[in-house]
Structure 1
Amino acid sequence: MPELTTTLRRPSLLDAVLGEANRAMQVLSGVAPASRRNPADVQATAEAGAGTSGAAPAALTPQQARHAAGLMRVNHVGEICAQALYRGQAAVCRDAATRELFEQSAQEEVDHLAWLGDRLRELNSRPSLLNPLWYAGSFALGVLAGKAGERYSLGFMAETEKQVGEHLDSHLQKLPENDVRSRRIVEQMALDEAQHRQRAEAGGGAELPLPARKAMRGMSRVMTSTAYWI
């Protein structure tokens, strides 16, 4: 009986493109699953088990719910952009350890997307209608950052997370005081983003030039002001 041999085909460029397109569709459609429980649910379960939940927070007024939804939609767009950025950077990264860092961070951003999507539905709202545009532009920007070299690619990641952390801190000040579920999500996101920044800096990320940092802030302002409404 002749011996059977198996030839493993190396992934082609087309395979990589199709894989990223499939990933983008999962992210944009909201079907990409979280690997961790929603922190709002985790905290609520812990408080109930300990008997320390106390009185339930007051229900949000329609105005408060709209405002919270706008802020959470902005955060959702930020995670769409971060997901695409890190996938773009990983796609052109030659160093295995650095590529793993980008991919791990991207997976944690998927968790954030799932949690924010849940909260938007709870608030009877929706993600930004411009998410496909944000994703495509951010993926291209990630590829460009990756082509600049490992140190600047990691520096881009560190600066991105620094600015995201500042936005999250400001949203904790702007969210209605009684919107406990949104606050728990944003607080966990802030912890994760700080870890991403620390990993990038520890990996040798270089500080970006001032014009690049200012340009990032300018693009961020356009994104946040648009995503609040659209």
Structure 2
Amino acid sequence: MSEIRYRPSDRFLLTVDQLLRRLPAGGQRPASGPADDLPEPDGLTSAERRRAAALMRVNHAGELAAQGLYLGQSLAARQPATLAHLRAAGDEEAAHITWCQERLRALGGRRSLLDPLWFGGALGIGTLAGLAGDTWSLGFVAETERQVERHLDGHLARLPAADRRSRAVLEQMRRDEARHGD
């Protein structure tokens, strides 16, 4: 069976389609999340709630940026295996966006006003990384994910101990990010 070779315009339209399907809108959400079976913490002080919401806002913005990186890299990927890896990782990032958004809402927080800037900048950086070639692009993914793991470790250390729901989300995200970088 022969491989499908997409023109750049086809690949661009497929990427826009992926973007529209991945970014949470309305009631779309993954089938389940890591915090679904945990109770909402009722012993958080208002300061702890604000701190947890601030951390989840940063994580939400980071996941939007990761989505931009993967989509940008997908635009320029040359090998089907590279494209498949980027798409699979992007699908998980879409779930992470939803989980972070749900935690923000539950904590009484809001999304960053700079989300469009983070996404757009990352889309550009991802496209440039992809244009450098698949090997370079996959190396960029591995290093980015290593840095994200360290970032999540820091957030896990700063998260209020009673917020088991946010902790479950960040721990699952950390496991997923480690797998993306492999």
Q: Provide TM-score, normalisation by structure 2.
A: 0.88
Matched AA of 2:36 = D
Match of 1:33 among 8, 28, 42: 28
Cα deviation 1:90-126 (Å, max 9, x = unaligned): 1111100110000000000001001111000001111
Which of 85, 107, 124 is equivalent to 1:140?
124
CA pair 96-17 structure 1, distance change in 2 beyond 3 A: closer
Match for 1:122: what amino acid? A
Is 2:106 the counterpart of 1:122? yes
Query: 1:34, CA displacement in angstroms?
Result: 3.7
Residue segments in structure 1 that go unaligned for 5+ positions in a row:
1-9, 46-55, 199-230
2:63 aligned residue (79, 90, 97): 79
Taking the aligned partners of 1:168 and 1:36, their CA distance within structure 2 comes to 23
Say whether the 8 Å CA contact 2:99–2:169 is kept in structure 1. Answer: yes
Aligned partner of residue 103 in structure 1, secondary structure: helix
Q: Which amino acid aligns with 1:40?
A: A
Going from structure 1 to structure 2, the CA distance change for 1:149 and 1:100 (only over 3 Å counts) comes to: same
Q: Point out the more displaced range, 124-133 or 20-29.
A: 20-29
Cα distance between partner residues in 1 of 2:170 and 2:80: 31
Q: State the partner residue of 1:222.
A: none
Match of 2:147 in 1: 163
Aligned residues, how many? 177
Whether 1:195 aligns to 2:179 is: yes
Unpaired segments of 5 or more residues in structure 2?
Answer: 1-5
CA RMSD of aligned residues (A): 2.3
Q: Which residue is 2:138 aligned to?
A: 154
Query: Secondary structure of the equivalent of 1:191?
Result: helix
- Is the 8 Å Cα contact of residues 38 and 115 (structure 1) preserved in structure 2? yes
Q: Residues of 2 paired with 1:111 and 1:77: CA distance? A: 13
Structure index of larger Rg: 1
What residue identity is the alignment partner of 1:195?
A: R
The residue that corresponds to 2:73 in the other structure is 89
Higher-RCO chain (CA-CA 8 Å, sequence separation at least 6): 2
In structure 2, C-alpha distance between the alignment counterparts of 1:126 and 1:193, rounded to whole Å = 24
- Give the % identical residues: 45
Looking at structure 1, the residues matched to 42 and 32 of structure 2 have their Cα atoms a distance apart, in angstroms, of 24
Matched position secondary structure for 1:112 = helix
What is the CA distance between 1:20 and its match in structure 2?
Answer: 3.7
1:120–1:126 CA contact under 8 A, matched in 2: yes
Q: Deviations over 1:8-40 (max 9, x none)?
A: xx8771x54455445445655644834341101
Deviation per CA, 1:20-70, whole angstroms, max 9, x where unpaired? 44544565564483434110114x39xxxxxxxxxx855211111111000
**CA distance in structure 2 between the aligned counterparts of 1:12 and 1:159, rounded to whole angstroms:** 27
